[in-house]
A = this chain, B = another copy of it.
């Protein structure tokens, strides 16, 4: 079970190894949103997403138990892959990463370059859990799951600890904290940290249209699943259903889920580029998109949005940039 005490312990292990990201803001985004907007830019984290926190937390916890000898194994669409690969490399042990063959090329290439052995699988016809379990058993590797692992959740929860600290300095009262949500590791970790350290901040998961399994699960109390043929640009957070460990934590501590479109994400990416000077990937932009374009579903004069990752192919980013140029041109022609 993941606990607030485990998050504090993970923060101590991460200190000096992970980037301490600040909260960013822009008066232009405040005006657009109609409230103060703070963004936690985990795209600046090592390997380009918050996943390095969970990877480091899990690998360092295994190291402390002397359980790292043969290395680690993980499955991931890309960001968890890179986080675990770098954490393993920094600990001097091998990492095997199982990735879908249709993951963004940049994520596969980067995972290889971080020294990991990459095993590609067919996302439609093969079962990554089965592949992972088999390789882990045969080679004696420690499996680090992407979200249903207490030490991974504890690592992601350090994002929430930092939000609580910085929000206190900024004098933030009641506010929604919007979190990009796939399997729910980041959302559950932040929820535990805020419940303990800043209960006036309410965590809420944000998902892409067609992948709102967590939002629906929070309503129904069941493990809802997404349609198998759903499509989205938000590759980082396309999980079939919430985690067995993460959903109960989110049910205990989170407000209602929010859902945004791919177009909302591209616009949020363009605004993050122009106004915060950060590079955000589609799945990392869902929370900012909700903060900017779905304000009628929020409460309070302040919103905090996590920008969870920035590993995006140049061609997709160019789409967002073109949108920025078009919208700027429109704004200029209007005076």
When distances are taken between beta carbons in the complex, the residues of chain B under 8 Å from A41 are 44, 277
> A324 to B169, alpha carbons, bound, how many Å?
39
| Interface size of A in residues (CB-CB distance below 8 Å) | 43
Stretch at the interface among A6-14, A245-253, A311-319: A311-319
When distances are taken between beta carbons in the complex, the residues of chain B under 8 Å from A311 are 277
When distances are taken between beta carbons in the complex, the residues of chain B under 8 Å from A25 are 46
Q: Given A105-B332, A314-B328, is A114 in contact with B27 using a C-beta cutoff of 8 Å? A: yes
8 A Cβ contacts from A109-123 to B: 109-110, 113-114
Please name the residue on chain B nearest to A170 by beta carbon: B16
Are A277 and B276 in contact, CB atoms less than 8 angstroms apart?
Answer: no
8 A Cβ contacts from A54-79 to B: none
Are B28 and A19 in contact, CB atoms less than 8 angstroms apart?
Answer: no
Are A325 and B315 in contact, CB atoms less than 8 angstroms apart?
Answer: yes
- A-side residues, CB < 8 A to B, are 16, 19-22, 24-28, 41, 43-44, 46, 48, 86, 89, 105-106, 109-110, 113-114, 169-170, 273-274, 276-280, 310-311, 314-315, 317-318, 321, 324-325, 328, 332
